[in-house]
Structure formats: C-alpha cells, structure tokens
Amino acid sequence: MIENVWLITALPLAGFIVIGLLGKRLGEKLSGIIASLFSAAAFVVTILIFMEVLAKEESARKIIVKFFDWIVVGKVNTAVAYQVDPLSLVMTLIVTGVGSLIHFYSIGYMHGDKLSAKYFAYLNLFMFSMLNLVLGSNLLIMFLGWEGVGLCSYLLIGYYYETKEAGDAGKKAFIVNRVGDFGFLIGIFLILFVFGTLEFSELEQLAEGHKSGEMVIFWITIMLFIGATGKSAQIPLYVWLPDAMAGPTPVSALIHAATMVTSGIYMLARLSFLYVKSPETMMIICIIGALTAFFAATIGMFQNDIKKVLAYSTVSQLGYMFMGVGAGAFSAGIFHVMTHAFFKALLFLGAGSVIYALHHEQDIRHMGGLRKKLPITHFTFLIGTLAIAGTPLFSGFFSKDEILWKVFNYSPAIWLIGATGAAITSYYMFRLYFVTFYGEMRYHEHGDHKVHESPLIMTVPLVILAALSLGGGLFGIPHILDFFHMGNLLEEFLHHSVSDSSVVSHGASTEIAMMAMSVILALVGFFISYKVFFKGKRVPGKDEEYSGLPKTVYNKYYVDEFYNIAFVKSIYHAALILWRAFDVFVIDGIVNGVAKLLRNLGGGMRETETGVVHDYMMYMAGGLVSFFVLLFLFFL
C-alpha cells in the first residue's frame, strides 16, 4: 500500500476535477457527498499506510516513493516524490481525518448556498495541495503545496466574493502570505546554492557536515522562518488571519485552525536537522512565538465576534507551537499541532453550529442562553474550551504543558510570557463560553426561524472531535504522569523523523511544580471569567463604550492601520509615480514616437507621388545620371 501513497493526493484531486467540471449538474448535495467521500477515502488509505509503517521497525520507517524525475539541471535532480515517514504520516492523518469531518459538516452548513458545488471543489483542491505539502520529499513539492494552499485560502476566504469584506480579506491573505513566501523562496535558493539539492533526505545527510552557528545556516533558517510567519500567522505577518474569518466557518475550521496554518510548524519540523544547527534562529523563533502568543491573547480578551475570538486564539496557539519548536522541542510542537487541530476545529465547527442556528448572527452580545436550545453544540463546545484552556486530562493540557516545560528549561523569561498567555487564554475562552451559552437569550427569534439544534451531519463531527479533544492527550503522556507505562507515544514515533535539541536541566519535582503552576494559572483565568460573566452576568458593552487601553486592544492595537500607512499607501503612491513618469511618459512616448516617426516618414514619401509625369522623369534622369557617375568613377 505504501507504493500507492499517490492515492492520498489523487483522490481529492479527482474530487476537485469531477466537481469542478460537473458541479452545476450534480448539485449541492451530491457535490458535497462526493467531496467528503473522496476525502474520507484518502483518510482510509492513510490509515492503511500508517499501519504498514507501524509494523516496520524504527529505523526502516522512512520510505521515499518516487514517481518521476522532474527538473534535471546540471547536478540538481528534483523528482516528484513523496516521503512516507512518521512526521508526514502524523500530519497526513490530521489533515485527512479532520479534513474529512469538516467536509461532512460542510454538507449541512452550506445547505441552501447555491454555489456550494464550487465550495466543495475548492475544499478538495485545498486537500490536494495541503497533502502535497506534507507528503512531498523535497522543498519544491512542498513549496508547490505551500502556494496551492495559499491559493485555495484566497479562493475560500473570498468565497462570498460579492461582499467587499470577503474580497478584501481574500486579497489580504494572499498578499501577506506572498510577503512571507518571498522569504521562503530566498531560503530555498540559498539551500540550493549551498547544498545543491532540495531533497530532505539528502539535505539531512549534507547538513551533518556543517558546524553549528554557521552564517549561511543562520540565513537559510531565518528566511524560511519568515515564510513560516506568513503562513502560520506570527508577528509581523499575522494580520490576514482575523480578516479571514469573512469566509465560511468550516473553511476557518479547516484552513485556519487545523491544517494550513500549521504548515509553518511542519516545515520547521521537517527541516529540524537544519534548525538545530542555528541556535540564534531558534532563539528568535522562540521569542516571536512567545510574543505572538501573548499579544494575540490580549486582543482576544476584548473581541465580540465569536469567530474573531477564535481567530486570535489560533494566532496565539500557533505562537505556542513556535515557542516549543524554538526551544528545541520539535515533537512537542507537532503534538500541539495535533491537539490544536482537534479542539480548534471543534471550537470553530461549534461556533459554526451556533451561527447556523442563529441564522448567521456572529456577535456574542446578541447571543446567550443557548445552553438548553443547542445541547450537543453546547456540550462539545465546553469540551473544546476545557481543552484549550489546559484543563488536566484534556489533550490541550498535555501538549501545552510539554511545551511550557521545555520552554522553562530553555529560558524562564520566555516561559513567563507564555504562562501569562495561558492564563489569558483561559480567561477569554471561558468569557466566550459563558457569554454565548449562558444568561438570558439576547437573540430575537422571528417567525418560523426558531432556534434549534443543528442537523446530525453537523453534530456528529462535533462529537467525534470532542472525543479526540478529550482523548488526544493519550498520545503524549509525559514520563512523570505515565502511570500506565504507555510512554510518550508521539515522541517515540517521531523520534527519527525530527531532531530534538531541547534540554531538560531541571528535575522531576520541578516539572510537577510547573505543571501545577499551569493548572493554577488556568484556574485563575477561569475564575475571573466565571465571576464576571457567569455570576455577574455581564455582557460586553457596545462598541462606543470602549475607551482608553481597552479600546486600543479592542482595535487590535491599530496594527492594520499602521501597516496600511507604512506599507500599502507608500507602495501605492510609488507605483502611481512610476506609472505616470515611466510607463506613460517614457514607454508610451517611445511607442507613440515610433508610430509618429513612421507616419511622418510615410507622409513625406507620399509627396513624391505627384501624378505629374515630369517629376517621375526627373527621378528617372537622376537615377540614370547617378548610374553613369558611378560607372565613370569605376573606370577612373
């Protein structure tokens, strides 16, 4: 089955082609079913391959399946090939598994949308690109997938393209990503220049020959990291993600929670052998991750759109993943990718369920009292909230804790930022939970649009994801809590695929103390939220009521406005000048000038056709005389 790994990407591609061509005829429901089935089929294939790989022993778990040579230039031979190893399998399982659930969910959510065949085509195309990204055996295939998901992100964010908001959001996502991609490309060029190959397996071997801290490794890793900040929404390129909430909610769940945004982490993990050779870059990554985590969390505290809260939460959680990676704990970062995929997708789909029930109301100030009306949604949302806040036994607890522990060993200062962020996370997530589901119902039911639970096809995925959010922690039980002696399954599984430069310089007792610390912080956030929003039944105020610091935070610290002035407007004006001065004046001038010249020449020549025979005779005489003059000179 491993040789048939191409099926995993071929199935969604087939779905895209079929729905893309026949979508109008198939109709909404059928398109959705086809898309979902193809995704699910890809998941099944992944499971089969996974089991086959599990059966092999540890050192034999990297299999490269080559399809054909692609770019062969000089000494560089880039093939179209997939690398089947633990890391790519983990990612593929997440993408196909969670992705399929979201496909099924979408069938219910997009009900009534007349263009949903296009939606499912795009979803399948996205799956195809993302799977190429994680399965590719070299940087070129990965970059193809990278760009592909960027494109699908643009298509899906701007799905409701008739509204300016959606169109702008799509463009913003694509353009900001592009800035990051520029860095990525420079990184690829440098790698090609230095190592002469783009294959991961070859790079891993070649990297052995370089010393730690070399200048060129630093630049390569920094450039690639810039690409990661674009795709994974870190400072300074995170600004597209909150705007991306303009797209349909399942899209937010899939792309901006579970899969695409994690590409950056995956890329870092994939090239971990390179990153461990550049401690400076790792430090930068860790710091940026921490700052982002904290910064985004503060913004999330004040947001009133249910999706925006989750969006900033995503940015924040991605920051945690980068923190872990920066501290050298690559597998911890991947672990958090996995758990985050579960609970964030769950939260987004749950939010989608709420939005669906309330007929596309997204402001939490108009929600409330939905606990009884939407029981399943409420219950699963609660599980998701508990998971993200880091409640013990839930998956989020294990993954976030592992990261914080490794970061504490790396740098207590950075740990402090991360821990504070965790407290804030707990606070704003419970704020969201309480305001949305408790209190009196501020939503006005009109006519026959009663508020009721979403259909099964939407609630079943919620339940599945809730179970995963709960049990997902089993994959990474840390040693000190390993009562059943399972071992850290994920870390062992990933052992040979990713490097690990994390240090543990403190003992087990410190570890337990830190763990307790995280729980306490989470509880602190919970309690504040509980007091204000549950007991106090406070509802966030109207927009005009904000002032001072809260107003600044609520307005995202005016970062977008700053970017607009500093970058957008200046480039726009520069382009305008260039256009006027150069394009119109010089180039058009040349082109028009040539035309004018020819016209005048022609006009001049036209004057010779007088129709007067004498003039023609003069021309003849002149020619004759010239001929003879030449003859004469020749004889001279």
Partner 1 sequence: MGESMNLMNITQTHYIVLSVLLFCIGAAGVLIRRNAIVIFLCVEIMLNAVNIALVAFSRGLDQNRGEVFVFFVIAVAAAESAIGLSLLILLFRQKKTLDVDEINSLKGNL
Partner 2 sequence: MDSTALISFIKPVVFYTFAATAVLSAIMVIVSKNPLYSAVNLVLTFFSIAGIYVLMGAEVIAVFQILVYAGAIMVLVIFVIMFLNLRPSLFKIQFKHVFRSGLAVVFMTALFAIIASLFSKGVGVYMEHAQKGEITQAAIDAEGGFQLFSRALFTEFLLPFELTSLLLTVAIIGVVVLIRGMIKPGVSKKGQEK
What the block records as the tokens of 23 is: 């979508």
616 binds partner 2 (CB under 8 A): no
612 binds partner 1 (CB under 8 A): yes
Which parts of 301-329 fold into alpha helices (H)?
A: 306-326
In the complex with partner 1, the residue whose CB is nearer, 562 or 616, is: 616
Task: Report the C-alpha gap between 421 and 423 in whole angstroms.
Answer: 5
Minimum distance, C-beta of residue 611 to partner 2, in the bound complex (Å): 14
In the complex with partner 1, the residue whose CB is nearer, 57 or 609, is: 609
User: Site residues for partner 2, window 14-43 (CB under 8 A)?
Assistant: none
From residue 124 to residue 153, the character string flagging contacts with partner 1 as x (rule: CB under 8 A) and all else as - is ------------------------------
Q: Residue 395, Cα to own-chain centre: how many angstroms?
A: 22
User: Site residues for partner 2, window 459-498 (CB under 8 A)?
Assistant: none
Minimum distance, C-beta of residue 606 to partner 1, in the bound complex (Å): 6
In the complex with partner 2, the residue whose CB is nearer, 68 or 634, is: 634
60 binds, among partner 2, partner 1, none (CB under 5 to 8 A by kind): none
Q: What are the residues whose beta carbons fall under 8 Å from the beta carbon of 593, sequence distance 6 or more?
A: none
Minimum distance, C-beta of residue 602 to partner 1, in the bound complex (Å): 11
Q: Which stretch binds partner 2 (CB under 8 A): 180-188, 459-467, 562-570, 610-618?
A: 610-618
Assign 278 to helix, strand or coil. coil
User: Site residues for partner 1, window 613-632 (CB under 8 A)?
Assistant: 613-614, 617-618, 621
| # residues contacting partner 2 (CB under 8 A) | 12
Question: What's the DSSP call for residue 455?
Answer: P
625 binds partner 2 (CB under 8 A): yes
If you count DSSP H runs as helices and E runs as strands, how many of each does the chain have, helices first? Answer: 25, 2
613 binds, among partner 1, partner 2, none (CB under 5 to 8 A by kind): partner 1
What the block records as the tokens of 623 is: 């020619």
**Backbone phi, then psi, for 572, in 5-degree steps?**
-60, -45
508 binds partner 1 (CB under 8 A): no
| Position among 75, 446, 542, 606 found at the interface with partner 1 (CB under 8 A) | 606
Task: Report the C-alpha gap between 204 and 210 in whole angstroms.
Answer: 11
In the complex with partner 2, the residue whose CB is nearer, 115 or 625, is: 625
Q: Residue 309, Cα to own-chain centre: how many angstroms?
A: 17
From residue 562 to residue 601, the character string flagging contacts with partner 2 as x (rule: CB under 8 A) and all else as - is ----------------------------------------
Q: Widest CA span of the chain, in angstroms? A: 120
68 binds partner 2 (CB under 8 A): no
In the complex with partner 2, the residue whose CB is nearer, 445 or 615, is: 615
Assign 274 to helix, strand or coil. helix
Q: Exposed (0-12), middle (13-18) or buried (19+): which is 530, by Cβ within 10 Å?
A: middle
Q: Pick from 214, 335, 369, 197: which is nearest to 266 by CA? A: 335
Ramachandran bin of 447, using left for φ above 0, alpha for ψ from -120 to 50, beta for the remaining angles: left
Q: Pick from 387, 394, 383, 381: which is nearest to 436 by CA? A: 381
Q: Pick from 285, 337, 283, 331: which is nearest to 314 by CA? A: 337
629 binds partner 2 (CB under 8 A): yes
Minimum distance, C-beta of residue 631 to partner 2, in the bound complex (Å): 7
In the complex with partner 2, the residue whose CB is nearer, 588 or 615, is: 615
609 binds, among partner 1, partner 2, none (CB under 5 to 8 A by kind): partner 1
In the complex with partner 1, the residue whose CB is nearer, 527 or 616, is: 616
Minimum distance, C-beta of residue 600 to partner 2, in the bound complex (Å): 22
Give the number of other Cβ atoms within 10 Å of residue 588's Cβ. Answer: 11
Q: Which stretch binds partner 1 (CB under 8 A): 69-77, 96-104, 452-460, 602-610?
A: 602-610
| Position among 208, 544, 545, 609 found at the interface with partner 1 (CB under 8 A) | 609
Place of tokens 């009196």: 440
Task: Report the C-alpha gap between 566 and 332 in whole angstroms.
Answer: 37
211 binds partner 1 (CB under 8 A): no
Place of tokens 């025979």: 613
Task: Report the C-alpha gap between 35 and 474 in whole angstroms.
Answer: 31
578 binds partner 1 (CB under 8 A): no
Question: What's the DSSP call for residue 199?
Answer: B
Q: Say if CB 101 and CB 43 are below 8 A apart.
A: no
Place of tokens 């059943």: 484
Q: Say if CB 387 and CB 379 are below 8 A apart.
A: no
In the complex with partner 2, the residue whose CB is nearer, 67 or 616, is: 616
614 binds partner 2 (CB under 8 A): yes
| # residues contacting partner 1 (CB under 8 A) | 11
In the complex with partner 2, the residue whose CB is nearer, 520 or 618, is: 618
635 binds, among partner 2, partner 1, none (CB under 5 to 8 A by kind): partner 2
In the complex with partner 1, the residue whose CB is nearer, 507 or 604, is: 604
User: Site residues for partner 2, window 500-529 (CB under 8 A)?
Assistant: none
622 binds, among partner 1, partner 2, none (CB under 5 to 8 A by kind): partner 2
Rg (CA), the chain: 30
636 binds partner 1 (CB under 8 A): no
The DSSP line for 555-583 is: TGGGHHHHHIIIIIIHHHHHHHHHIIIII
Binding site for partner 1 (CB under 8 A): 606-607, 609-614, 617-618, 621
Contact residues toward partner 2 (CB under 8 A) are 614-615, 618, 621-622, 624-625, 628-629, 631-632, 635
